[in-house]
Structure formats: structure tokens, C-alpha cells
Structure 1
Amino acid sequence: MKFTVFDIHSNEAFEKMALKIYRYQLRKNVVYQQYCEYLHKTRASRIEEIPFLPIQFFKSHTVLSDQRPAQITFTSSGTTGNNVSKHLVTDLEVYNKSLDHSFKKTYGEAKDYVILALLPHYLDRSGSSLVYMAQRWIKASQRAESGFYLNDLAALSKVLKSFENSSQKIILIGVTFALLQLADEYAMPLDNVIIIETGGMKGMRKEIIKPELHGILQTAFTQASIQSEYGMTELLSQAYANDGITFTTPPWMRVSTRDTNDPLSAIDHGKTGGLNVIDLANYNSCSFIATQDLGKSFTDGSFQVLGRFDHSDIRGCNLMAVGSRQ
């Protein structure tokens, strides 16, 4: 079944579609159905009544609302002995549309950019939704310089320097520890460059807060715009922070906060809590996910990520990059 989630342009349309997908997933998604039944929450007439599935279920169960075979399986990064999340995608076209619509809404046309990725090459990490996204951007840019440079910072530096006196727009997307390594070894002013960092240190270096990270990057790359991306294996949509701190979502995605002591209770905007995500593009899997991230949501629909719950698993993009180098 297909839902026209990319045609949403109002709160009313979002809430109507969210309730429609909730009822669909309640019927078709066995894991979500059993979870809602356990909570005795199998009816919702308002979006605020919809339960959020804990993200950990993607490690232990097959979370699907669609019986078709998976076209691709995205997996989270992990350490040896840890279970990883698996997101079976039965309709890759939905993910492609989500990527393309979000990029165009945030940055314009990919062909106007040189896309440089401090990430593992697609062939080295084919199960990563982030690497898949970067590969799609690189292909759409149609520029010979676009590509993956995780294992060759010297080559990346040469490409960046070759555009020093150019008006060519550049996007450099990378895992945090690799961006810091580039800043340590190849600091330079970067005109017309957007740097998109994708996450924390994940054990590679001492964890630092975003303002400190962005300060280091801004000092090393004085003219660059330092930005952030928020996404995960279990979602099909991303949010972007043009200021590096406050994320905005596409029209089919919404983030709210829950009480850290009572995960079934929502809290007011502006207060710190666990982040809940509604990703309507995820209609073939589960669109209502309780993440392990801590943050704040705001009345204008934006949100901030402040950290992780204590004892949550080490996971994320930087572990992916470490594994590709071993």
C-alpha cells in the first residue's frame, strides 16, 4: 500500500495522515500491534494518543507493515557482540523520494554542488542508510570530484584547495571524528563550503558537546558553514540544522519529547526529554519511534539533540567508519 506522505503541506494534513498510517500499522505490523495491545492503547482519535515503539525493537524483531520482500536492508553500526538494528526496506523508491525531497528543500539541486563524503565507500558499507544517502547525492551531483574520501584526507584537501578561488558550491558531509582529523591536519579557509557533521565521537575520541565541536571546525575552516544532519537506520527521513544546533524537519516528519521517568507521557515544548519521532515515510515499517536521544522540541516544529540516555548502546556513524578501516 502507498501513502501520499510527500504531498503533506499543513498540520491538518499531517495529523490526518498520521492517524491513517497508525491504524494501518496497527493492523499490519505484528510487532507494533502487540506492543500497543500490551499498553492497552489500540485506539487513537488524536495524534497525541498514538504510542511510540521503542527503537530497541529493531534489534530484536522484524519491524514491518508490509509482506513484500526487502529490496534493501539497512543495518546500524555496532561493536563486536552487540546486536545491530535492522531496517528492512520493501520499497526503496520511498527512501529515494524522502532523500531527494529533503535535499532539495534544504539545499536546492544536487547538481549545483560538488559532494565530498568523509564516510566509508558505498561498496565497503552497503548496509548503511547514511552511506546510501551520500552515494545518491554524489551520483546526482554529476561532478568528477564528488566522491568518498575517508581514507585519503590528502586527496580531499587537494580537491578543497582546487576550489579556493571558485564560486563552486561544495558540501562536505562526514562523521565527526574524521572531520576533526581533517581540521587537525588540513585547516584552511573554505569559501562556499557547507560542512555537515553527522554525529558524536562514538568512542573514537573524548566526547565533546556540539558548540565545542563546531567551534573547532569553524576555527579550522574559517569561511565554511557548519551544519548538522539528524537521521538513523530505523528512519527513512532526515532533519537538518543550518546553524548546526536546531534541526528542522520535512513536512512528513515530526519530533516531540517524552518524560524520561514516564516514557508514555509527553512533556511541554522547551523541556528536556526523550525524543519521539513520527516519520510518515516509514509507513512500510513503523512510523512512530521512541528514540534513545535526549533533546528539546519547540513550538515551531524544530528540535535540538542534547545527548543520549545513560547506558544506551554505543551506536552510530563513527563506529561504521572505524569498522571500514579494520
Structure 2
Amino acid sequence: MSVPLPFDLARMYDVPAAVKRAGMLATLNALGDWHAQRCAPYRAARETLFPAGPAGTIEALPYLPVRLFKSLDLLSVPREAIVKTLVSSGTTGHTPSRIHLDRETSVRQGRVLTAIMTAFLGRQRLPMVVADSAALLRDRTRFNARAAALLGFSVLGRDHFHALDELLLLDTEGLDAWLAAHADQPVLLFGFTALVWQHLVQALRRQGRALRFPEGSWLLHGGGWKRLADQQVSHQEFKAAVRETLGITRVANYYGMVEQTGTIFMECEQGHLHSPVFADVVVRDARTLQPLGAGQPGVLQVLSALPLSYPGHSLLTEDLGVLHGEDDCACGRLGRYFSVLGRMPEAELRGCSDTRVLP
């Protein structure tokens, strides 16, 4: 008997804090026991680093450093039950993380991702442009993080058009024709932030031209902000350039990682990242690891009710962020909301927009 999800899929952003905390705490304590019984390295880490017994608060839940997935093969199911392995997109020369999924975990991730996006985009599947190459999707059993995200998000759209070729060159003529054939309704453009910037926006600028996506179209993008920050490109400049070159005004960023596929934190109309009902976030002091309150920057710990095949339910990331509040965002969505400030100093650049595809 696996650990069930604590809430209905339709209640993604309308469960008040007291109810959510109780449900998530019970689920995450149960997941901790599930993985401790089935994954010896996780059990050893939990017993060594954290007090015995169930946690009394979300902040007291045991967690693993996310980079542990680079050095250990962590599974909580028999290896023959694995149907898919995701590989993180670390920089060349670094050991990638490997995340092993069984069928039940993969199904849970897909259902929750769809429910999160439905809450933002609506139920209608829009025609979809992917700012990437279709070549990434050739092996359906072993993906790097970028390819896994492309496949996962592709279910949100229809009539897909991959705007980049295998060399990541923009197919301007093909995109023109596709947009002309879908001019009568909004379109969903999906891509990793750095690829959208470099291979769509900047490519069009070099050509001295712009495209016009239909009115009401969306850009959904995530990852790769470190690369844009190195080029001194701000969130505001990115959005302005998207409006100028693509004619898209509805732009939403998301925060997520391969170690918790299916759990993403979407950007709302106020520019905040929101915790869905099956996930949560804790900000910890970078030196003491004590939990911090709103307005205090620290290291992000991310929690997810989804992973069954590997102990990825409570992870200390290498990202810095700041919590803004809970249940009181002006957008009306309930849950904790926050911003990501960047990577910790000396942390490995491991964004999903890394264009390397492992063999």
C-alpha cells in the first residue's frame, strides 16, 4: 500500500494553511517512513542527522541535500520496477543526479503537473510551440532534465511545433507558417528561459524582425536564469523583449527541479512563486539551517508529496530564496509564496536549460 496524496487534485491553490499543514505533515511523515523502510542510505542519513519519531511541524521534517543524488543511487522500489530514469543537466565534467521513477510515481507526477497548469491556463489544451528541438525526445526511457520537462509539459498542448532544429537554430519559416495556421486562437509557447532568450528572442533580433503570436497567447518558461543574470538580463527586460519580438504579454516563470519532477512552483500575476497544495517550501539560514520567517533570505528546502520510488520528498536545495507570505498574496491563491534569488556561492550551475544531452 503506497502513501496516498493528501488532497483532491482540484484544490491546487484553495486549501488554507492550517488544513494544508496538517495534511502535508501527515503525508510527509508517512513518506519518510516509507522510504526509510525501503532505502537503506536514506534510513542511515535520517537516523544519523535527525531525531527519531515523526516530525511535529513542517519545518522539523528530515531532509536530504539535493546533491546527494549525484553520489548515491537512491531507490525505494526494486530496480526492475523502474520505468524511467531522469538525469540532471549539470555542467560538463560534473556527476549528474539520477532520479529513478516507477510507474506509480511517474503517473502521480504527470497528474499533478497537469492539475497545476490547468489552474493557471484553464482546461483547454492550446496549440503549442516548443522552443527546443524534437531530437531530445528520441529515448523515452532515459532523459536529461530538459528532455523530461519537454515531455511532461507537452501534454498541456496540441498540434506541437518544435521551433528549433538539432543545432538549436530557429526555424523561422516553419514557425511563420505554423503561426499563420493557428492565428485564430491563443497559443502556448513553452521553453527554458535561456533557450527562449538566446535562440528565439535574440535570433529574431539578429534577423531584424519580430513575430506576432495570437492575442491571449502564453509563454511558460523556467530554469536558466543564472545564464541571463551573467548577461545582466533582468526579469523585466526579459518580459519586455518577449512582448517586443513575439507579441506575448502573458509570461509566467516556474521554479522546479528534476529531483522533484511534477512539483513546480508557478509565478502568479504579482510575480511571486506559489506552492501548490502537494508541495511546500521552507527557507533556512545558510549557516545554521534554522528556519527563517518572511522577508529573510536563505537556502530553499522544497517538499513534495509525490515521490514514491526515490526519497525526494524533502530536499535542501542549493538555491537562495526569500519567503514573502502565506495565504495572503494579492493574486488570491492560497499557500506559501516566495522568490528565488539565485544560486548559493560555489554551487554548481545545474539549470535545466543546459543544452548538453547525456549519451
TM-score bracket for the superposition, by shorter chain length: 0.7 to 0.9
* Aligned equivalents of 1:208, 1:22: Cα separation in 2: 40
- Highest RCO, 1 vs 2 (Cα 8 Å, sep ≥ 6): 2
Q: Per the alignment, in what secondary structure is the counterpart of residue 290 of structure 1?
A: strand
Across the aligned residues of Structure 1 and Structure 2, the Cα RMSD in angstroms comes to 2.7
* Aligned equivalents of 1:4, 1:155: Cα separation in 2: 48
Matched, 1:141 2:157: yes
In the TM superposition, residue 164 of structure 1 has moved relative to its aligned partner by: 7.7
- After TM superposition, the structure 1 stretch with the greater mean CA deviation from structure 2, 273-282 or 206-215, is 206-215
Q: Per the alignment, in what secondary structure is the counterpart of residue 137 of structure 2?
A: coil
* Aligned equivalents of 1:5, 1:325: Cα separation in 2: 33
The runs of 5 or more residues in structure 2 that have no matched partner are 9-14, 328-335
Residue of 61, 68, 77 corresponding to 1:66:
77
Matched, 1:199 2:223: yes
CA contact (8 A) 1:258 1:273 kept: yes
CA contact (8 A) 1:29 1:64 kept: yes
* Aligned equivalents of 2:109, 2:265: Cα separation in 1: 14
Q: 1:200 to 1:207 in 2, by over 3 A?
A: farther
Paired amino acid for 1:20: A
Q: 1:62 to 1:256 in 2, by over 3 A?
A: same
Matched, 1:35 2:35: no
The alignment of Structure 1 onto Structure 2 pairs a total of residues equal to 319
Q: 1:13 to 1:197 in 2, by over 3 A?
A: same
Matched, 1:260 2:286: yes
- TM (norm. structure 2) is 0.79
In the TM superposition, residue 61 of structure 1 has moved relative to its aligned partner by: 0.6
* Aligned equivalents of 1:6, 1:119: Cα separation in 2: 35
* Aligned equivalents of 1:159, 1:63: Cα separation in 2: 46
Q: Deviations over 1:83-118 (max 9, x none)?
A: 001101122222222222222222223x53012111
Q: Which runs of 4+ in 1 moved over 6 A?
A: none
- After TM superposition, the structure 1 stretch with the greater mean CA deviation from structure 2, 195-204 or 309-318, is 195-204
Q: 1:154 to 1:325 in 2, by over 3 A?
A: farther
In the TM superposition, residue 165 of structure 1 has moved relative to its aligned partner by: 4.8
* Aligned equivalents of 1:96, 1:176: Cα separation in 2: 22
The answer for the alignment partner of 1:2 in structure 2 is 2
CA contact (8 A) 1:226 1:244 kept: no
Q: 1:139 to 1:27 in 2, by over 3 A?
A: closer
Paired amino acid for 1:269: A
The runs of 5 or more residues in structure 1 that have no matched partner are none
Matches within 5 A, 1:86-235: 86-91=98-103, 92-109=106-123, 112-121=125-134, 122-123=136-137, 126-139=142-155, 141-143=157-159, 146-151=160-165, 152-155=170-173, 157-159=175-177, 161-162=179-180, 165-166=183-184, 168-181=185-198, 182-184=200-202, 185=204, 186-190=209-213, 191-200=215-224, 203=227, 206=231, 208-235=233-260
Q: Deviations over 1:205-229 (max 9, x none)?
A: 6253323322332333344211112
CA contact (8 A) 1:231 1:238 kept: yes
Q: 1:35 to 1:2 in 2, by over 3 A?
A: same
In the TM superposition, residue 243 of structure 1 has moved relative to its aligned partner by: 3.5
CA contact (8 A) 1:77 1:315 kept: yes
* Aligned equivalents of 2:149, 2:227: Cα separation in 1: 24
In the TM superposition, residue 124 of structure 1 has moved relative to its aligned partner by: 5.1
